[in-house]
Amino acid sequence: MKADKNTVSFTLNGELKTFATEPDEKLLTLLRREGYRGTKYGCGQGTCGACTMILDGRAVYACLLYAKQAEGRSVRTIESAGTFEEPVEFQKELIAAGAVQCGYCIPGMVMSATALMETETVFEDEIVREYMDGNLCRCTGYEKIWIALRKVLDRREAADKTGRNSPAKGAK
């Protein structure tokens, strides 16, 4: 099956979309061109994490993916996480903790944390650090970002203990 050379179709934040593209275009370029500018350019080389988005449930770098690699898949960007009226829990905690300084890394952090929370149910420090190790921040020293994240994760773990009894996926 050869898709049309100059378009790509994928589910973007829950909606099926078709965009004009070229084989050589990176997903980051396409997203920003189409108005999804919360995903940012920091290095274009897959090292800083400012362009983190979620592809089929996994956190990935939009700057390294060719747009065509997203064909038929599910893409979620920061635009799917929270609104002015209802920020997501992690955004609220980041703000409350004073963890947002220049803010450039924050959308990427939110997306990586979202992937973590959707994949794991037990959040040991070591595992959390592995999930977050691809998002660089130069302003905060990560301290308040970590505190905000731990708050959200601790709450989830506590809720999970009293709630469902699902086996921990990939723990350890």
Partner 1 sequence: MKDERAGKFKQVNHSVTKIDALQLALGKDSYVADFVPRGALIIKMLWSPHPHANIRSIDVSIAEKMPGIKAVLWHGNVPRVAHCTAGQGFPEPSPYDTFMFDRKVRFVGDRVAAVAAETEEQALAAVAAIKVEYELLTPVFSLDEAMAKDAPVIHDEPEAHVPIPIPYEPKKNLVAHVACEAGDFEKGMKEADFRFDETFETPYAQHCPIEPYTTLAQIAPSGRIHITTSTQVPFHCRRIVALTLGIPVQKIRVIKPRIGGGFGCKQEILLEDVTAMFALRTGKPCFWQFNREETFRTGRTRHPFRVRIRAGVKKDGTISAIAMDAINNTGAYGGHGLTVVSCAGSKVLPLYHCENIHFDGKSYYTNLPVGGAYRGFGATQAFFAMESVMDEMAEAIGMDPMAFRQLNHIRSGEGSPIFAALGEGREGTPMTVGSNALAECIVKGAGAIGWQNRADWRTKTGRYRRGIGMACLMQGSSIPDIDMGSASIKINEDGSFNLNIGATDLGTGSDTVLAQIAAEELETTTDKMIVYSSDTDMTPFDVGAYASSTTYLSGEAVRKAAADAKRQILFTGAEMLGLKVEEVHCEDAHVLNEDGSKKVSYGDIASYSLYQKNQYQIIGTASHITKKSPPPFAAHFAEIEVDTWTGFIRVLNYVSTIDCGTAINPALCEGQTEGGTLNGISYALTEQYLFKNGRMMNASFADYHIYSMRDRPRVQAILVPSYEETGPFGAKSVSEICINGPAPVFANAIHNATGARIREFPFTPDKVLAAIQTVQKK
Partner 2 sequence: MKLCEFIRPASLSEARAVLSELGPKGMALAGGTALHFMQTKTPVAAVDITRLGLSYIRQEGDFFAIGATTPLSDIQRHRGHGWAMHEIARNISTHQIRNVSTIGGNICRVFPWADLPVVLLAMNARMVIYTGSEKEEEVAADDYFAAQPAKRFHGGNILTAVKVPVLKARQGFGSVKASRNAAAFSLVTVAALLELKDGKIKTARVSAGSAIPFPHRLPSVETALIGREAVSAVFKEAAAKSGADANWCAREGMSEDYTRQLAEVSLADALEKAAAYANGRTE
Residue 66 vs 104, nearer CB to partner 1: 104
From partner 1, partner 2, none, which one binds at residue 23 (CB under 5 to 8 Å depending on kind)? partner 2
The nearest distance, CB 42 to partner 2, in angstroms, is: 12
Pair 105, 43: CB distance under 8 Å = no
Nearer residue to partner 2 within complex by CB, 25 or 92: 25
Q: Is 145 in the site for partner 1 (CB under 8 A)?
A: yes
- Return the residue matching tokens 């505190």: 147
Query: Does position 98 bind partner 2 by CB under 8 A?
Result: no
Q: Which residues contact 16 (CB under 8 A, 6 or more apart)?
A: 9, 10
Name the DSSP class of 12: E
Question: For residues 34 and 133, which CB has a smaller minimum distance to partner 2 in the complex?
Answer: 133
Task: Give the x-and-dash track for 43-82 against partner 2 (CB under 8 A).
Answer: --xxx-x--x--x--xxxx--xxx-xx-x-----------
How far are the Cα atoms of 32, 48, 100, 118, 158 from residue 72, in angstroms, in the given order? Answer: 19, 27, 34, 21, 36
- Please choose, out of 11-19, 80-88, 124-132, 153-161, the segment that lies near partner 2 by the rule CB under 8 A: 124-132
Q: Is 153 in the site for partner 1 (CB under 8 A)?
A: no
Question: Where does residue 37 rank: exposed (0-12), middle (13-18), buried (19+ CB within 10 A)?
Answer: middle
- Alpha carbon distance 113, 147 (integer Å): 13
37 binds, among partner 2, partner 1, none (CB under 5 to 8 A by kind): partner 1
Answer whether 124's CB lies under 8 Å from 116's CB: no
Can you give the binding site for partner 1, defined by CB under 8 A? 32, 37-45, 47-48, 50, 77-79, 81-84, 87, 91, 94-107, 110, 129-130, 132-146
